[in-house]
Amino acid sequence: LISVYIRLRAYGVTESRYYVLLFGIFSLVIGILLSLRPVTKNGLIALLAAGFAIVSVVPPVDAFTVSRVSQVTRLEHMLQSAGILVDGQLIAKSDADFALRRETTSILNYLNQRGHLPQVAWLPAAFEPYRDMQKTLGFEPTYKYSQGIIDHFHVGLDMQEPLSIAGYDVLLQAATYRQQTAITHDFSVRGTSYRLVLKRLSAQEVRVSVQNAAGEELVATGLEEFAALLEDKGDKSKGQLPVDQLTLDVADNQYKLRIIFQSIAATHGSDIDEGIDYNMFVLIAVPH
């Protein structure tokens, strides 16, 4: 119980800590009862267990409500001390120290995963930590791996917009992640065999190529430059973009290669997890 108390003081209540504390109190009460009553006359233990179980699911003392209130209160105190939350209004502060940025990211992610963010009165409507922290609080989501601070970039395709495949013979869906080396997809057009190859050259760079049956490269492109240009254009987290902003076209030897990115997710500044993941539609046209 002492250890739990120390962690609650330092990090606030979460569901898991709530139940650990509740079990600790229950065990303490049972220990006292067992020392005072004969073992054969302890039907009260079952009633106590039922009582504790009911308490843990009945608002406002249930695990979810208590943990939400605890974490929101903790976050409010930190932001108020830093001058970011003043009279219920957020003031963006780009020079917030690393510890505050990291703890704020952790708490907001915790609340977001449990659907509690809409109940935080001083946050904007439809707030999403990954997308909105920079413009709302003044700093990006911050994590700690080893000694470094990680910088993220993410963009996705607006899937409500129709995709045109006119002028292409094949549509393939492909993905490559930083831990992978090479991905291949075999296909044929008008009886001729081809292979789509996604070869990872580094944690950031992937070369996408179309090869014939003999392994000769017919048309190809790298992906890192396209991702870097997207990052340079603005916010680190762009949300969803239309098809035309996520399309890469290449042509060579009368072969056409069109890549429509479903998502690009980049991590910078961490030796452990640095790199770029790509999800994409690949359209291919071969000469007649």
Tell me the domain boundaries of the chain. Answer: 2-152, 155-285
Length of the chain as a residue count: 288
pLDDT digits (tens, 9 = 90+) for 5-57: 787 777 889 888 899 889 889 888 888 887 877 666 667 788 888 998 998 88
How far is the C-alpha of 217 from the C-alpha of 184, rounded, in Å?
Answer: 13
Q: How confident is the model at residue 149 (pLDDT cuts 50, 70, 90)?
A: low
**3-class DSSP state of 271:** coil
Q: Where are the beta strands (DSSP E) in the chain?
A: 85-86, 89-90, 144-145, 148-149, 151-157, 170-176, 182-189, 192-200, 206-212, 217-222, 237-241, 247-252, 255-268, 275-285
Residues 217-274 have pLDDT tens digits of 999 999 988 988 887 665 555 578 999 999 999 999 899 999 999 999 988 765 556 7
Residue 283: pLDDT above 80? Answer: yes
Residue 14: other Cβ atoms inside 10 A = 19
> Mean pLDDT throughout 122-142?
86
Q: Given pLDDT bands bounded at 50, 70 and 90, which one contains residue 139?
A: confident
Whether residue 172 contacts residue 187, with contact meaning beta carbons closer than 8 Å, is answered with yes
pLDDT at 238: 58
Residues 276-287 as b or e (16 or more Cβ within 10 Å = b): bbbbbbbbbbbe
pLDDT at position 215 = 93
Q: How far apart are CA 247 and CA 260, in angstroms?
A: 5
**Residue 134 pLDDT > 80, yes or no?**
yes
Residue 28 to residue 126: CA distance in whole angstroms: 43
